[in-house]
Amino acid sequence: MVGLVAASSFYQPQRGTGNVEYTTLGNTGLEVSRLCLGCMSFGSSESREWILDEAESREIIERAIDLGINFFDTANVYSMGESERILGDVLADYDRDSQVVATKGYFQMDEDDPNSGGLSRKAIEQELDNSLDRLGMDTLDLLQIHRWDYDTPIEQTMRTLDDAVRRGKARYLGASSMWAHQFAEAQHVADREGLTPFSTMQNHYNLLYQEEEHEMLPLCEKQGVGVIPWSPLARGWLTRPHEESRSTTRGETDDYAHQHPYLEGGGREVNERVQELADEKGVKMAQIGLAWLFSDDRVDAPIVGTTSVEHLEDAVEALSIDLSDSDIEYLEEPYEPVRVSGHE
């Protein structure tokens, strides 16, 4: 990790009633599990072959709750709303107040309605209402913008998001992958206009893609912004040897995974070192990839998506794996800067 910093003052992991630890999300005061369950794989296989149906999705969500996970991330675009609906239906059987639910908006939801995407006032307001309806909730814990909207002034976006908070439809605001200067501009607008700032950044960060360390992570640390990385296992590239990347249904069909620069630069050697260290410690490659993120005090809760209960349990067990400084140095040594990816 380039310029790894000492433990931040707001990072205080606590052991929960299940098997996970809890930490404070940025400067929100919210206590969330150190693993966030990503819900992109819940919905309908008609969307993508590896997406789970409702019954299989329910099994994973319920097991996550059993393990002590209280943080869930979805998006309106995941299976075109089905992910939100399934998550909401499952959580309705539990204590809503004990869960922290996040969703995202930006991508167009209806090809016949150009205003169903983007970050205009109309798009944000109507799509937030649609998300709340599918989730069966009156208030969202964390409302995130999925990407930067180049067609809408950031002042309009931030004021609309602030209105959502003031109207009680969202408690906190977050952003996802963008350039650090864009995130800084949005935060400046919020400060200048007396609006609600972003409390979280959901960025693209893992052992095979460390470009966020140059600007975004230092900015988030300076502002007390919670970091919840997506694709912590590089869309599967950190779960198996690189030569076996297409050995699963998702590996075969997820073309997006092959568009990222995961194996550019020293990526192959990083992958091989993850395998070597996993064998040495008697754990799985995915657990080493997650343990590396858990060792970074700038990261609050990686967003882990899964299609099996076993992999979910493996992810939780990774919390107990301690990597030494020499382990971390060994894993990072082959890494070379690669092209920026994930802002699209």
5 lies in a domain?
no
Q: Which of 59-63, 193-197, 256-260 has the lowest mean pLDDT?
A: 256-260
What gap in Å lies between CA 245 and CA 239, rounded to an integer?
9
Predicted confidence band at 135 (pLDDT cuts at 50, 70, 90)?
very high
Q: Is residue 276 situated within a structural domain? A: yes
pLDDT at 256: 60
* pLDDT given for residue 180 in this prediction: 98
SS3 83: helix
| 256 within domain boundaries | yes
Give residue-wise pLDDT tens across range 73-119: 999 999 999 999 999 999 999 999 999 999 999 999 999 999 999 99
The structural domain count of the chain equals 1
**Residue at 9 is within a domain:** no
How far is Cα of residue 226 from the mean position of the Cα atoms in its chain?
A: 11
Residue 40 sits at the vertex; the CA angle it makes with 36 and 45, to the nearest 5 degrees, is 145
Note whether residue 269 is domain-resident: yes
Which CATH number does the domain housing residue 300 bear? 3.20.20.100
The residue that leads in pLDDT, 318 or 50, is 318
Q: How confident is the model at residue 19 (pLDDT cuts 50, 70, 90)?
A: confident
Mean pLDDT of the chain: 92
**Is the pLDDT confidence value at 5 over 60?**
no
pLDDT at residue 6, rounded to an integer: 35
3-class state of residue 90 by DSSP: helix
What would the pLDDT profile of 310-343 be if each residue is shown by its tens digit? 999 999 999 999 999 999 999 999 999 999 999 9
340 located within any domain? no
Percentage of residues of the chain with pLDDT beyond 70: 91
* Residues 18, 67: Cα–Cα separation, whole Å: 5
**Average of per-residue pLDDT across 254-273:** 86
- The strands making up 71-73's β-sheet, listed across from edge to edge, are 226-227, 200-202, 170-176, 140-145, 100-105, 71-73, 36-38, 303-305
Q: Check if the beta carbon of residue 20 is closer than 8 Å to that of residue 67.
A: yes
Look at residue 47 in the predicted model and tell me its pLDDT: 75
Specify whether the CB–CB gap between 104 and 117 falls below 8 A.
no
Convert the pLDDT of each residue in 172-227 to its tens digit.
Answer: 999 999 999 999 999 999 999 999 999 999 999 999 999 999 999 999 999 999 99
pLDDT (mean) for 119-128? 98
31 occurs within a structural domain: yes
pLDDT of res. 271: 97
Q: What's the confidence (pLDDT) of residue 13?
A: 52
Query: Which of the residues are catalytic?
Result: 78
Assess if residue 1 is contained within a domain: no
Q: How confident is the model at residue 250 (pLDDT cuts 50, 70, 90)?
A: low
Residue 56 lies in domain: 14-332
pLDDT at 12 over 60: no
The per-residue pLDDT for 16 is 46
Per-residue pLDDT, averaged over 247-253, amounts to 57
Q: Measured between alpha carbons, how far is residue 225 from residues 30, 198, 209 in Å? A: 12, 7, 20
Tell me the pTM. Answer: 0.92
